[in-house]
Amino acid sequence: MSTKNLKKRRDAVAKMMDAGSVMILYSGKEVHVSEDEYYMFEVNKNFRYLTDIDRDNMVLFIDKTGKKVTETLFIEEADPLMEKWYGKKLTKDEAKEISGIEDVRFIDSFDNMLARMLTTCCIKNAYFDLYHHDASDELDFNHKRAMEFHKKNPAVVLKNAYEIIGYLRMSKDADEVKRISHAVDMTRQGLEAVMKELKPGMYEYQAQAIYEYTIHYLGSSGPSFPTIAGSGYNGTMLHYETNRCECKDGDLLLLDLGSKADGWCSDITRTYPVNGKFTKRQKDVYNVVLEANQHIAKIAKPGMTLRELNDECKKVLAKGAKKLGLIKEDSELSKYYMHGVGHHLGLDVHDASTYEGVKLRPGCVITDEPGLYIDEECIGIRIEDDLLITEDGCKVLSKDIIRKPDEIEAFMAKNKKGKK
């Protein structure tokens, strides 16, 4: 990732900060499970966005209290004994090289520096990452630090850095698009590997294993979310991720999966016939979903909102569902289609965005994922592509992942013959 683009992101953040403010963004800390076990460390995404560093125990500090904005990165100092056990820490030079931040210091000096500033200069506002998904969630590391800060310094107004960074993260720069495209390409190869092996009697977890093996083999750090492999009825459950059942002859297998590429995500869904051939009914339903998917890719452009795209999607699905004899009125569609057509995609699978009604702009990457879920027929179909919004329309980043029924059948048939 170019340090020029990282600097651009930080400059854009600083520009949106109120004068007289500082921003304090922690990279986070490992979370304890039990005994000496820790959850896999997940860096704060906004810290990653502005530094491209994915290590714990760091702080990005942006100071806009003076005439000139300054940026400082605080990192952990290496301890040779700990390094023997847990691996190398970043040096100041390495941190500077990755992030492009000139002023890198050790984190032990952070609290003193901040205390000094609080007594000698006028900090009116302090920005922390105060995002939370659900009111009942445990407070995360940045939240807890913000609360402590507020308690000690009640006269400084707390502001939410997420509102600024979330807005900026909605449109991706060239480096981000490159990483997402790389993730999409690994997903393509993983799906092709599954199609080559898929046959009746395979277990859902085996399809998952083939996919995840492939992306790891290609150098991905792993799936961007728990892989969904739902056959038959399981394909009608939106977040099915138990993946324990056998894929039966005549059933469909819905695969909703993604890959990470240096922190950025893909999110793709394909639905395949387990035995390599769609039944007439499955194909009819599939083609309705495909029509909605293609329609969205055709009309998505700057100025539209995700809500408008979903309304358009529902029109196509409702028309098709009537033809399929599933519904009589448009309002009944929610029985067979109950989610939105897309979401932003980036560092997070459901990526930062300010709200659903905000207009798309060039650089936004969104998913295009209509579906129809017919429990009573054990048919669950979703087709999901990743779209990059351009100046006048969109580019389908996942265009090379085959999706037409004929293409899928031909791919699976060709491979069967090749095996004999």
The footprint of Mn ion (CB under 5 A) covers 267, 367
For Mn ion, the closer of residues 367 and 398 by Cβ is 367
Q: What minimum distance in Å lies between the beta carbon of 256 and Mn ion? A: 7
Q: How far apart are CA 314 and CA 326, in angstroms?
A: 14
Are 27 and 72 spatial neighbours (Cβ–Cβ below 8 Å)? no
Are 150 and 171 spatial neighbours (Cβ–Cβ below 8 Å)? no
For Mn ion, the closer of residues 166 and 370 by Cβ is 370
Residue type, 379: I
For Mn ion, the closer of residues 212 and 267 by Cβ is 267
For Mn ion, the closer of residues 54 and 267 by Cβ is 267
Q: What minimum distance in Å lies between the beta carbon of 267 and Mn ion? A: 4
Q: What minimum distance in Å lies between the beta carbon of 345 and Mn ion? A: 7
DSSP string, 264-308: EE--EEEEEETTS---HHHHHHHHHHHHHHHHHHHH--TT--HHH
For Mn ion, the closer of residues 56 and 267 by Cβ is 267
In the block, tokens 């899928």 appear at 408
Q: How far apart are CA 275 and CA 200, in angstroms?
A: 6
Q: What minimum distance in Å lies between the beta carbon of 257 and Mn ion? A: 10
Q: What minimum distance in Å lies between the beta carbon of 251 and Mn ion? A: 22
| Per-position b or e across 32-47, b if 16+ CB within 10 A of its CB | eeeeeeeeeeebbbbb
Q: What minimum distance in Å lies between the beta carbon of 293 and Mn ion? A: 12
Are 382 and 369 spatial neighbours (Cβ–Cβ below 8 Å)? yes
For Mn ion, the closer of residues 71 and 267 by Cβ is 267
Residue 134 neighbours by CB distance under 10 Å: 6
Q: How far apart are CA 289 and CA 106, in angstroms?
A: 54
Residue (of 290, 214, 196) closest to 258 by Cα position: 214
For Mn ion, the closer of residues 353 and 367 by Cβ is 367
Residue (of 230, 193, 184, 229) closest to 211 by Cα position: 193
Residue (of 234, 190, 196) closest to 208 by Cα position: 190
Q: What minimum distance in Å lies between the beta carbon of 4 and Mn ion? A: 31
* Minimal CB distance residue for Mn ion: 267
Q: What minimum distance in Å lies between the beta carbon of 311 and Mn ion? A: 18
For Mn ion, the closer of residues 26 and 225 by Cβ is 225
Q: What is the helix (H) or strand (E) element at residue 408, kind and residue range?
A: helix 405-419
